[in-house]
Chains A and B, each alone.
Chain A
């Protein structure tokens, strides 16, 4: 009898398992594939190793801006990039694995299915627990586009992460975060990138003003955008779509990247059998405490459909563990940070301007160039960056921070705390920011709000 069975070892599941073990609980963690889930194996981590390599590539190309000569012909060796990615992934997976074992979490490498609210079956064996946490995550979506499925020329995020050559032409379906990050990488690596997006804007979760700047930066990198275009079919390596004028167009690439979103893993885990309330598109219904409609059955991460971000999954898992073991805690999504790891990076937390307008919240805004912090110019020769801050009209409460430029995701945590703790402009005046850092631009922008 376990105190907790966790199904799925992504950042939601493994962190929850580890934390429950730290609280002294008996925990079993089921994983059908690799420890670490999508994030560690075929998501955040490998994608960021790619992007780090392309930044090194850019640094070499721009070396003379920093007074470095004789760099020579810069070549991105995709096979070596792959190798580095694999080494990093393996090292991190091993790290997580030994951390879990060290804490006494029992790792069971098998596909688990719930039999009842406290029974799980895997490999023909039954396991009992007082609590079950479902953290099965999501997989790349495969929309019903004719010719998309079972087409060797169509890759999803998992497939493209396994490429060991740089495609000459890459067509990307979807201008969301995943598509943009791969576009940014392969554009630097030398691919000709064409993005086909159904919506009139890219990165729909990003504040409009920042998204516009991102698009112009990515255009500078040679990426072509086809917005408001509807994909019709794929034939071989040719994608046909209807442009905003209603004309049919087609485009051919060495590969077509399908980055149209993610499908939640809800099937074959026993939801129907146990009676867990879920919706095929919106996921398992959970409350702010991580509870499902079935007592002692909890869920966190992508599978709840509430927020498809690794760090949200982790926090949701901790909230669930707290509540299952009598520690008061509650999930809040209003200060959810998110970073798009393109070059330049986009980092944001809190409400976008469009959200505030839709909610009828009176606000003031302040937009300033990141270059007002000396360090930005030092670090990013010839580049642009912007900080945009939204504060409540009356009290100056920081409601949203939106940034683009350099590696601005690295100081987003500071803005996240401000939004979470509901700091106001005057509170930030009292906080000391290190000099010289790019984060000073954040403070300066807030103080102007």
Chain B
């Protein structure tokens, strides 16, 4: 009997994944453990392994399809075996099967309009929206036939909320009831509508009405513009992850009054400690391999303990402060920016912190970080000092309240009590805050505490 391979549940918070390119095709013989396809959540990517041996009989979905977890994506078995029962129950459950054999069409209805008009979920959903939708957003979409444009979800993890689809509905082309029924039947969505306010009518669907050229066709036809087009060397749509990043960062700046406080801290203590650690490890003394970055993260935790008002979220006019210190760190990966989160740092030791950060950064880079480690962040640290950046303005990872930017270490001349000039190492810090919630003074107080911790790091460690 044929066996189904399901989209694995990649984490507690993951409900759907986007199929990447198939690594197998119908007819291939595969073994348990073979990678059959890559899949993306809204945060990371996973490799889906075969959970059965046999010949690939059918692939249920193609690259870019959004598949709910634990739904069949593939059928394996002996050639010729029936796999109809493994196919997704309906076209909306999964995307159309990529195998030769099509799933059996739903029984013809006698009075098709009963199911295909007002009660029919709109099929005009453009492929652009792979992010999960809240149930209310889904309901709204089902009840309002319109051509859904690419929507940047404002919910947690880019989830598309009701407000997002409502906002999109205001500007997107609407479909007449008759047009929606035709599209649900498989007709192509026309580029434009000729009905009232651009309503896409049944005739538009029939005729495949094209969009009228933009208002300034003359400008578009000028040689300069044409030349500019010729200069484009690549053109590719944003990846799912990049789309999420783009939407989030844009929304962060658009929806928040952000400002940045800059300061610096004497890190000679940290540098000395790092030297001691290195020396100790050379002598095989068992000590955590904490580097300067780990120490900064640890200092952030210690400072947040004293300033819980910066550890939380602000969403929909509600400030939520968290007892858990879930500190994220921005990480440059081949897929773009990711923010792995070290959860529950309340009782963490410097050694544990160091180990966790290193392991997560490694996983994030190889695209293997479990999605659950990318959620729940309450405060973020972004370190660009190692890349030569002196100081910068980080963008708050919405809905968080603040983000700490870590810059380069600069040598500063300092006059000692005896009047001598000595050179000391000063690391640059920039704290971006949501001014809607955190004013300048509390922000500055946090920085003071933080600098104090950094400059007296060893003592703080001893104090626990």
Contact = CB atoms under 8 A, between A and B. Distances in A.
Contact of A397 (B118, B198, B199, B202): B202
Interface in A394-449: 394-397, 420-427, 429-430
A426 B119 CA distance: 8
A254 B354 CA distance: 111
A32 interface: no
Contacts, number: 63
A421 B117 contact: no
Contacts of A430: 118
A426 B113 CA distance: 7
Interface string A305-331: 000000000000000000000001010
A426 B114 contact: yes
A332 interface: yes
Interface string B191-222: 00011101101100000000000000000000
Contact of A395 (B112, B196, B199): B112
A392 B194 contact: no
Contact of B177 (A332, A394, A422): A422
A291 to B, nearest CB: 14
Nearest to A398: B178
B159 interface: no
B176 interface: yes
Nearest to A421: B176
A397 B196 CA distance: 17
Contacts of B176: 421-423
A421 B177 contact: yes
Contacts of A332: 194-196
B113 A395 contact: yes
B176 to A, nearest CB: 3
Contacts of B198: 328
A404 to B, nearest CB: 26
Interface string B155-190: 000000000000000000000111101100000000
B179 A422 contact: yes
A interface bracket (residues with beta carbon within 8 Å of B): 10 to 19
A305 B302 CA distance: 82
A423 B175 CA distance: 10
A403 to B, nearest CB: 21
Contacts of B177: 397, 421-424, 426-427
B116 interface: yes
B113 A396 contact: yes
Interface in B242-264: none
B181 A424 contact: yes
B215 to A, nearest CB: 8
Contacts of A328: 198
A427 B112 CA distance: 13
Interface in A348-364: none
Contacts of B119: 426
A395 B176 CA distance: 12
Interface string A47-89: 0000000000000000000000000000000000000000000
The majority secondary structure among interface residues of chain A is: loop
Contacts of A423: 176-178
A216 B395 CA distance: 79
A356 B114 CA distance: 22
Contacts of A425: 113, 117
Interface string B250-290: 00000000000000000000000000000000000000000
Contacts of B111: 396
B116 A395 contact: yes
Given A332-B195, A394-B112, A395-B112, A422 B178 contact: yes
B112 A426 contact: no
Contacts of B117: 395-396, 424-427
A328 B111 CA distance: 37
A429 B111 CA distance: 14
Contacts of B116: 395, 424
Contacts of B178: 392, 395, 397, 422-424
A328 B177 CA distance: 23
B302 to A, nearest CB: 60
Contacts of A330: 194
Q: In the complex, which of the residues A396, A420, A424, A427 has the most CB atoms of chain B within 10 Å of its own CB atom?
A: A424
A386 to B, nearest CB: 23
Nearest to B176: A422
A332 B209 CA distance: 15
Nearest to B198: A328
A131 to B, nearest CB: 18
A420 B118 CA distance: 16
A414 to B, nearest CB: 15
Nearest to B115: A426
Interface string B92-127: 000000000000000000011110111100000000
Q: In the complex, which of the residues B117, B196, B198, B199 has the most CB atoms of chain A within 10 Å of its own CB atom?
A: B117
A420 B113 contact: no
A422 B174 CA distance: 12
B118 A427 contact: yes
A149 to B, nearest CB: 44
B194 A395 contact: no
Nearest to B199: A421
A399 to B, nearest CB: 9
A423 B181 CA distance: 11
Contacts of B195: 332, 420-422
Nearest to A423: B177
Contacts of B112: 394-396
Nearest to A418: B177
Given A394-B113, A421-B176, 15 more contacts: A332-B194, A332-B196, A392-B178, A395-B113, A395-B117, A395-B182, A395-B202, A396-B117, A397-B181, A420-B196, A422-B178, A424-B177, A425-B113, A427-B177, A429-B118
29 contacts: A330-B194, A332-B194, A332-B195, A332-B196, A392-B178, A394-B112, A395-B113, A395-B178, A395-B181, A396-B112, A397-B177, A421-B176, A421-B196, A421-B199, A422-B176, A422-B178, A422-B179, A422-B199, A423-B176, A423-B178, A424-B116, A424-B117, A424-B118, A424-B181, A426-B113, A426-B117, A426-B118, A426-B119, A427-B118
Across chains A and B, which 5 residue pairs bring their CB atoms closest together, nearest first? A396-B113, A422-B176, A397-B178, A424-B117, A422-B178
